[in-house]
Amino acid sequence: MSVQALTYLFVGITFAIYIAIALWARAKSTTDFYIAGGGVHPVVNGMATAADWMSAASFISMAGIIAFMGRDGAVYLLGWTGGYVLLALLLAPYLRKFGQFTVPDFIGERYYSKAARVVAVVCLIFISFTYIAGQMRGVGIVFSRFLEVEIATGVMIGMGIVFIYAALGGMKGITYTQAAQYCVLIFAYMVPAIFISILVSGSPIPQLGFGGTLADGSGRAVLETLDGVLLDLGFGAYTAGAKSTIDVFAITAALMIGTAGLPHVIVRFFTVPKVSDARRSAGWALVFIAILYTTAPAVAVFARLNFVESVNEKPYEDTPAWFRNWEDIGLVAWQDKNDDGRLQYRAGIPFAGAPDFIDKRGESGQRIIANAATDTDNEVYVDRDIIVLANPEIAALPGWVVALVAAGGLAAALSTAAGLLLVISAAVSHDLLKKTFSPTLSERQELLYARIAIAVALGLAGLFGIYPPAFVAQVVAFAFGLAAASLFPAILLGVFSKRMNKEGAIAGMVTGLTFTFSYIVYFKFISPGSNTAAHWLFGISPEGIGFIGALLNFTVAGLVARATAPPPKAVQDLVDDIRLPSGVGVAHKR
Amino acid sequence: MAKEQQDQGTSVRRHDDKEDTVGQPRHGGDTVSESRLSDYWQANLKFLGALLVVWFAVSFGAGIIFADTLDQYTFLGFPLGFWFAQQGAIYVFVVLIFVYVIGMSRIDRAYGVEDDDEDSNTTGEQTS
């Protein structure tokens, strides 16, 4: 069977499984719809959390980003796993004990204020939409490359599938599909990783392989070889970082705190039966996540080495098929600056911006681009996103592995998209309609509005996927920065400080939010030219500023709370109750 | 609606059961006494603090702040600081959460505030 037929087969089978699960797990009540009835087994929830968390960015982009960042890629590895320790120890058990439906629920009740709830809803919707745009782009890339359909068609197929199981099954449908999607995506990630590890290092365990020696019998260490190759081409050594220590520190901290504050992750811990399950579930989630996250840096090393060796100094006609396939999609490009017909891959950007293809072929058959060349020797443009997707082809693995990766990429993108859609819909139907504007809503009406909200949010997300706004890549820092600077401190203080009152919490959230938002907007949009270490506050980049935002939030909240009246007795009793694991009930109905 | 009452019934019964068997002093028959709660909370905070110190040490300490110094040593073929940043800290994170799970259920039991196993499983099955 051809690779494409296999891909259709694999994707078709997995989609059929997701829909079958959705039909089996239809949501009948708002409890089912928002928190899967509160009866999910902690291991299943851990799996679902892992799929929820590992998005198209983790599956498709992360290893590629690390491959090109080298050591500094650790900010993502540490940031996106270390956050789970904070989540497990500081938030999950207490939020489970609180036991309602959404994150704004907690903020609204703990701070006895509709204003606080609405601030939380705004943060949540902004964070989730930023995030979902990236998922839909991932779906589009996979469809257009592997199934050779238009990106728009691909996104619409993806939307159709997500709509069926998210609108029908709500959290219940999503939870069990996510568990299935985790199995698909981790299998799809590990199989090529193990193959490539054996190919490059001779070790079947990628985590050990990239610390070992090359399989070619030369006895040279993998990392040293890569360092040497890169230094020869004018890059920095792979194992040496380029970012300053303070910036690495701040980015890691912002990503960790942001991870723990992401609403679609937090809400997963509302679905388990009891407090100790929430703790255990966070542990399982991290186990499942760590399998991929400890493999990714190995894949990054192997892929970078493979990439250089299979492209550099090759005549265009001799480049492997994958190079031309990805060139057709527009994710790699070659500009023959010295007219020697060979690809020179060097440090530096080959030309400004993304490739602007004109409808013409050059002498060697390459697609001609209109961009003005830079004065570096580098002739090769490569989008980091292709590393994982192209890896099986780069390593010349069999067709079914390529097809598997396509199905895995879709599983990762769809599972995260569904989780995000659910928190958006819950925030609209539950927090805005039911709890703020229209308290008389019946459960049946609320459920209907929740489903409508999913449809509308999905439509918007689909538009983002078909017409990706140019700023998507720029605003990923937003999602984590804002979650770190707004939601995390408010929830943490709500549990650990009895004295924290609504004035303090709102002042803290607004300060953290405004500061982080302004800093990112200034450096990313208003004055991108000055986005360099010399201009940054304490040398911290916009990606890491959420850390400072969080510190500001804590400080302002503490000061304001001290100067204003303590929260009412009922709220203090609520805090006492949240702190005790015993007496947990199934989440409040309606 | 019927199901809802059933669930609440289960949770209330669970509460009473525990009170009978453990027999701790409680206010209003439903809450643990103030001082006991505060002792439990202090024990919790101490345990959390210790775990977070380790969390900070392996990630921000070994992986970032002291990484250059640690890179002089090799571990499994990796420069040690690099290993902590791209592998080791993640393994420690996983271990930390499970240590937390086990340690906390011990503390919960010691103060008689645990969520009882069997009853909750029943609750889980009823609602799923």
54-93 in B: which are within 8 Å (CB) of A? 55, 59-60, 63-65, 71, 76-79, 82-83, 85-87, 89-91, 93
Q: Judge: A290–B100 Cβ closer than 8 Å, yes or no.
A: no
Asked if A286's CB is within 8 angstroms of B94's CB, the reply is yes
pLDDT of residue B57: 92
Question: Which residues of A fall within a CB distance of 8 Å from B101?
Answer: 276, 279-280, 283
What is the residue extent of each domain of chain A? 3-306+397-579, 333-382
| Token pair recorded at residue A397 | 């693995």
Mean pLDDT over all residues of chain B? 71
Residue that wins the pLDDT comparison between A436 and A14 = A14
In a domain, B59, yes or no: yes
**pLDDT at site B22:** 37
Strand A367-369 and strand B31-32: the pairing is unpaired
pLDDT score for A109? 87
Q: Label residue A391 by pLDDT band (50, 70, 90).
A: confident
pLDDT at A116: 87
For residue A30, the surrounding DSSP H or E stretch is helix A30-35
Q: Does A39 touch chain B (CB under 8 A)?
A: yes
Q: What percent of chain A shows pLDDT beyond 70? A: 97
Nearest to A333 by CA among A371, A382, A375: A382
Residues 1-40 of chain B with CB under 8 A from chain A are: 4, 7-8, 11, 14-15, 18, 30-32, 37, 40
Q: Which residues of B touch A41 (CB under 8 A)?
A: 124
- How many other CB atoms sit within 10 Å of the CB of residue B30? 12
Mean of the pLDDT values across residues A162-183? 84
Q: Which among B77, B85, B87 has CB closest to A221?
A: B77
pLDDT in the model for residue A578:
85
Domain presence at residue B1:
no
Q: What is the ipTM of this complex?
A: 0.87
- Distance separating alpha carbons of residues A53 and A73, to the nearest angstrom: 18
Lowest pLDDT segment from A104-113, A131-140, A220-229: A131-140
Q: Which of A28-42, A50-64, A397-411, A558-572 has the lowest mean pLDDT?
A: A28-42
AA letter at A382: V
Interface test with B, best of A220, A274, A578 (most B CBs within 10 A): A274
What pLDDT is attached to residue A411?
85
pLDDT at A236 over 60: yes
Measured CA to CA in angstroms, residue A358 lies from A144, A164, A329, A467 at distances of 19, 40, 13, 20
| Tens of pLDDT, residues A457-514 | 888 888 877 776 655 555 666 788 888 998 899 999 999 988 899 899 999 999 998 8
Give the range of the structural domain holding residue B89, as residue numbers without chain letter.
37-115
Domain total of chain B:
1
* Residues in A touching B122 (Cβ below 8 Å): none
Classify residue B47: in a domain, yes or no.
yes
Proportion of chain B above pLDDT 90, given as a percent: 24
- Search chain B and give the residue with CA nearest A577: B31
**Secondary structure in 3-state letters for B51-108:** HHHHHHHHHHHHHHHCHHHHCCCEECCEEHHHHHHHHHHHHHHHHHHHHHHHHHHHHH
DSSP A269-319: GGSSSSHHHHHHHHHHHHHHHHHHHHHHHHHHHHHHHHHHHHHTT-BGGGS
Say which range, A319-323, B76-80, B116-120, has the weakest mean pLDDT: B116-120
| Average pLDDT in chain A | 83
A425–B contact, CB cutoff 8 A: no
Task: Tell me whether residue A78 is exposed, middle or buried, using C-beta atoms within 10 angstroms of its C-beta: 0 to 12, 13 to 18, 19 or more.
Answer: buried
Select, from the ranges A61-75, A277-291, A449-463, A531-545, the one with the highest average predicted confidence (pLDDT). A277-291
Residue B30 lies in a domain: no
Asked if residue B96 has pLDDT above 90, the reply is yes
pLDDT of res. A393: 81
In angstroms, what CA-CA distances link A379 with A68, A318, A361? 16, 16, 16
- List CB contacts (< 8 A) between B14 and chain A: 583
Please check whether the domain covering A3-306+397-579 is classified as CATH 3.10.20.310: no
Answer whether residue B19 is part of any domain. Answer: no
Average pLDDT on B9-15 reads 36
A211 SS3 class = coil
